[in-house]
A and B are shown apart, each in its own frame.
Chain A
Amino acid sequence: MMTRRKKRKVKKDDETTEPSVIEGDGIIVIKDLTKKFGGNVVLDNISLTIEKGKTTVIIGPSGCGKTVLIKHIILLLRPSSGEIYFKGRRIDNLNENELYKVRTNYGFLFQGGALFDSLSVADNITFPIRQHYKVKYWSKFDEFVKTKLSMVGLEGFQKFYPSNLSGGQRKRVALARAIALNPEVILYDEPTTGLDPIRSDVINELILKLQRELGVTSVVVTHDMTSAYKIADRIIMLHNGKIIADGNAKHIREHPHPVVQQFIHGQVNEDDLAVLRASGTIFQTQFLPRDFEE
């Protein structure tokens, strides 16, 4: 059970099927995690140790189970089998009421932000505080909101509602909400998806800033390789529900597995090209409205 405390070196050889830890202790340990939806195996016997104070990036093609994996870390989804530990304590067998307390150690940035529509930006950010503390000094709330918003570069947006914000602003407000309880671990589900390159870089800088200044442990799910290279201490690649590569940015860049190389360079493979070629030209396959007439 206590193998999570063991330090293991990154495998420098070819295909890394076994997960490894670069250095330091594991704050989150996942053992033999399998998740099935009906007969569909999304995560297949995954074992993983997340190091404290480091940024771990999980990459992989769409539908490979990245979001499912990150949701298991905070137990928003329950595993079909396997074990999940947080700071040495097994949490996958806790009931929902016990988990609420554990979850206060986490911040979760959802893909779409998941801001509460009916609450203003200020109320969204103070929501976790109001849920977990008896607030006596409401005047301090203004200062609190101001501080959190300045951290994400959105001063003066207190009274705005989520519907008045752009995609990037929503993600930054969601990040401000995620750090409201000063969590030890922040989980990011595709933080840069749908943002322009400049806004994406702003989010990347924020993630780095949070790690530098607050020393938080970050787990980032993304398929944006620019972002992954910039923020990652360690990159894990998922494919068909399994870990196929695990190491630092250099290790991933030089990884010999063809799927890893194809993914990080964003290249279509020969099989997909063959299917496209076999389907004929666009001209041949295009229907005109008159084709549907008698």
Chain B
Amino acid sequence: MIEIVGSKAVAVVNDAGRFGRFVWQTIVASVLSCAKTKTYPLIWAQMNIIGVRSVPIVMITGAFVGMILAVQAYDQLVSMGLEERLGVLINISVVKELGPVLAAVMLAGRVGGALTAELGTMNVTEQIDAVRSIGTNPIRYLVVPRVLACLLLTPALIIYGDLLGILGGYFVGVVQFKINSWAYWNFSAGGVELWDVLVGVIKGFFFGASIAVISCYKGFTCKEGAHGVGQACTEAFVASFISILALDYALAVIFKAIYNTFWSVRSLV
């Protein structure tokens, strides 16, 4: 029993060490690649696959989040006579928390799964070894473009998701529940600060990087065969999902501290 626990613990520590080294190599290669124009077409191609093709799914997710929030919150607010504040509730929830987190989860499923499956298949068919045998760093050629594309485009996708979330909430609130449009926007403008929007967008950089790095790592280390690739995809999604939630919590604490320290006194500065 102790032997089993011990060997599992050693395996976890080994895996953590390998992941840490992979992350470090990715960071170094990303910084170096930024200076090389040869990498730009690869990043551009990945931006199309990862970013552009994810726009519809992220926008649909955002729209439904806004609409569902409106339906759920309306009755509560009406009972208190605060239905005109519906916009504040929806918009602040969407731009600060639900928009970024749900967009990132959608990306972890759509993009993360695809990255792991693609790199995992390349791994088991020796294509990654082929890249190495040609004298090319596979992290620079395969991982960096995907990580940079995810890093740069997740915030942009979050903005799309936020936009549709706001419009979805507006549609249900104003068109379906007949809330006064002017009051809806007026209260929203008073309640949602630029800071709230920024927090959501900045979270996107962290979510995007974590999804890409975890998915690429799982693809690079996947086991032989169809079962190995399938298992790697599942592990990549689960690990990405947990990392999104953990990062969301950590960033919420950090941004709250920053807000309390600096943002509230920005007018004095």
Contacts and interface: CB of A to CB of B under 8 A. Distances in A.
Interface of A: 71, 74, 76, 96-97, 100-104, 106, 108, 110-112, 114-117, 127-128, 130-132, 134, 177, 181
B130 interface: yes
Contacts of B134: 103-104, 127-128, 131, 177, 181
B135 A112 contact: no
Given A97-B137, A131-B141, A103 B129 contact: no
Interface string B84-118: 00000000000000000000000000000000000
B135 A114 contact: no
B113 to A, nearest CB: 17
A130 B136 CA distance: 10
B181 interface: no
Nearest first, the 7 closest Cβ-Cβ pairs linking A and B are A114-B130, A108-B133, A103-B135, A114-B126, A104-B135, A100-B135, A131-B136
Contacts of A74: 133
A112 B38 CA distance: 29
15 contacts: A76-B132, A96-B137, A100-B132, A100-B136, A101-B135, A110-B129, A114-B125, A114-B126, A114-B127, A117-B122, A127-B134, A131-B135, A132-B135, A134-B38, A181-B134
Interface in B115-164: 121-122, 125-127, 129-130, 132-137, 141
A35 to B, nearest CB: 16
A128 B135 contact: yes
Nearest to A187: B133
Contacts of A116: 122, 127, 130
Interface in B50-66: none
Interface residues of B, number: 15
Contacts, number: 58
Contacts of B132: 76, 100, 103
A106 B133 contact: yes
A3 to B, nearest CB: 28
B267 to A, nearest CB: 51
A101 B129 CA distance: 15
A101 B133 CA distance: 10
Contacts of A103: 132-135
Contacts of A76: 129, 132-133
A102 B133 CA distance: 10
Contacts of A114: 125-127, 129-130
Contacts of A71: 129
A76 B128 CA distance: 10
A109 to B, nearest CB: 10
A97 B126 CA distance: 19
Contacts of A100: 132, 135-137
A258 B86 CA distance: 87
B47 to A, nearest CB: 16
B126 A112 contact: yes
A141 to B, nearest CB: 15
Contacts of A110: 126, 129-130, 133
Contacts of B127: 114-117
Most chain A CB within 10 A, of B126, B132, B133, is at B133
A101 B134 CA distance: 9
A132 B130 CA distance: 15
A139 to B, nearest CB: 18
A121 B122 CA distance: 17
A216 to B, nearest CB: 15
Contacts of B129: 71, 76, 110, 114
